[in-house]
Amino acid sequence: MPYETLDVAIGDDGVGVITLSRPAARNAMSTRMMEELRGCFADFYVNPDAAACLIVTGAGAGFCAGADLKERKGMTDEVWRRQHAVLEQMVRALMDCPVPVIAAVNGAAIGGGMELALGCDFIYAAQSARFALTEVTLGIMPGAAGTQNLPRAVGVRRAKEIVLTGAPFSAEEALAWGMVNKVCADDRLLGEARATALRIAANAPVSLCQAKKALDKATELDRMSGYAFEIEAYNRTVGTEDRREGIDAFNEKRKPRYKGR
């Protein structure tokens, strides 16, 4: 599907790269970008075999400056609510995406841009990356699951400090606080994210999907309920061809050839 604000490329290796492409606006999310991101992630929900792993990054020197405040200037309350409803659907589509998603934050990730990264499964950041949730400085508050995903990454007390001050912080601080998995040299960010994506993509697709679902429940359910969910997810892998292929490949000392079924 052609997009106006995104570049989406899926390689023969199964790794898809979704690039936010409004560099002149620091990749700020216009209504159109919100709609296209919503549609993009929804497409992977419908067609999960289209890619084995996804990377989200930004064009140019920045990741995403959040919602496009120039577009929002003069918006009526009703139009604002409609636009935000699109954003809410986009966030849900991202978090429901069965394909693993890595955020490769190549520059500033501010407001909704940081929330977009937090909605991914994990984050790699360039050394030059900067983060902030600045909403309270603008008379609003995070509304793209930031108050839910951030505490799960850094703890409630640190999340309160980040959200209530609106202060920016560095990639190294994000790493120390547990929000970012890895800090990379700027010129190696995409390469390192791709290397991890390739390692993920080499695994059995059904196993990846089911494991991701179970991991997402770890902070939402009590431990025994979460374990019950894990077993339900696990049992869906038992009858697959890929499960038998994985065991055969191990015993035959060769790489498995997974088919996603």
- The string of pLDDT tens digits covering residues 82-131 is 999 999 999 999 999 999 999 999 999 999 999 999 999 999 999 999 99
Backbone phi and psi for residue 122, each to the nearest 5 degrees, phi listed first: -160, 170
> Catalytic pick from 62, 107, 111, 112?
112
- The predicted structure's pLDDT at residue 2: 85
Q: How confident is the model at residue 48 (pLDDT cuts 50, 70, 90)?
A: very high
> Catalytic pick from 25, 93, 103, 135?
135
- Same domain for 121 and 42: yes
> Catalytic pick from 28, 67, 108, 129?
67
Residue 153 has pLDDT above 90, yes or no: yes
Predicted TM-score (pTM) of the model is 0.95
Asked if residue 261 is part of any domain, the answer here is no
> Catalytic pick from 35, 51, 62, 115?
115
Domain harbouring 243, CATH code: 1.10.12
- Into how many domains does the chain fold? 2
- Same domain for 83 and 123: yes
Q: How confident is the model at residue 60 (pLDDT cuts 50, 70, 90)?
A: very high
Cα diameter, the chain? 66
What ranges make up the beta strands (E) of the chain? Answer: 6-10, 15-20, 53-58, 101-105, 108-110, 122-126, 130-132, 169-170, 182-184
How many angstroms separate the Cα of 194 from the Cα of each of 46, 65, 123, 143, 206?
24, 23, 12, 29, 20
- Same domain for 234 and 165: no
- Same domain for 120 and 242: no
Residue 74 has pLDDT above 80, yes or no: yes
* Eight-class DSSP state of 108: E
Domain that holds residue 29: 6-201
**Annotation marks residue 112 as catalytic:** yes
Asked if residue 106 is part of any domain, the answer here is yes
Distance in angstroms (rounded) separating the CA atoms of residues 67 and 168: 17
Asked if residue 187 is part of any domain, the answer here is yes
CA angle, 137 then 95 then 156, to 5°: 50
- Same domain for 209 and 197: no
**Annotation marks residue 67 as catalytic:** yes
